[in-house]
Amino acid sequence: MKKILFIALALLTFSFVSSTKESIHQFTVKDIDGDNFAFSSLKGKKVMVVNTASKCGLTPQYEKLEALYQKYKDQGFVIVGFPANNFMSQEPGTDAEIKSFCLKNYGVSFPMMSKISVKGKDMSNVYHFLTEKGRNGLEDSSVKWNFQKYLIDEAGHLIKVISPKTQPNDPEIISWIEGIK
């Protein structure tokens, strides 16, 4: 009897802990054109969230991000870019200027959101989710620089935080997208 009660209590505790883990699918944000973008529309897809900037030494990553998106977009993968001006004012432009820059210089076609803050007092709710273990269930993190990547599984849960300097076509990222363990 004690064993059964212990197992029941363990299962109840596990289900409570796992049910407190949030999902990125709960968020709706503004895209770069000012329209609503519901992350719930990405249910069933693997997602890479990345904070971007147009005047950064890492800005050429846009080219590899776009190539990655083109290669895997029809296989249930999407990249969501969030322009942010948190690091040395490297994203000073308006949404319209950022959109034009990304299209003209890198042919960006993956979803780009309206410019936000990824750290500090005005941090967006999405980034609170991405950086707080109490919300994402994985780990606490801070956005170190432009082009930090967050990998989100098909259920909307944070799986891994990737360094800004890690290239979008890194074997670890490719293996995750392709489902290779």
Domain range annotation of the chain: 24-178
Give the C-alpha separation, 64 to 40, whole Å.
26
Q: What is the pLDDT of residue 15?
A: 45
Orientation of helix 171-178 relative to helix 61-72, angle to 10°: 20
- Residue 100: in which H helix or E strand, if any? helix 95-106
Q: What is the pLDDT of residue 21?
A: 80
Q: What is the pLDDT of residue 47?
A: 98
Q: What is the pLDDT of residue 45?
A: 98
- What are the residue numbers of the active site? 56
Cβ atoms 157, 21 nearer than 8 A:
yes
Q: What is the pLDDT of residue 18?
A: 45
Enumerate residue ranges in the chain where pLDDT < 50. 5-6, 8-13, 15-19
114 CB contacts (<8 Å, ≥6 apart)? Answer: 29, 30, 31, 32, 34, 83, 95
Q: What is the pLDDT of residue 180?
A: 77
- What number does CATH give the domain 24-178? 3.40.30.10
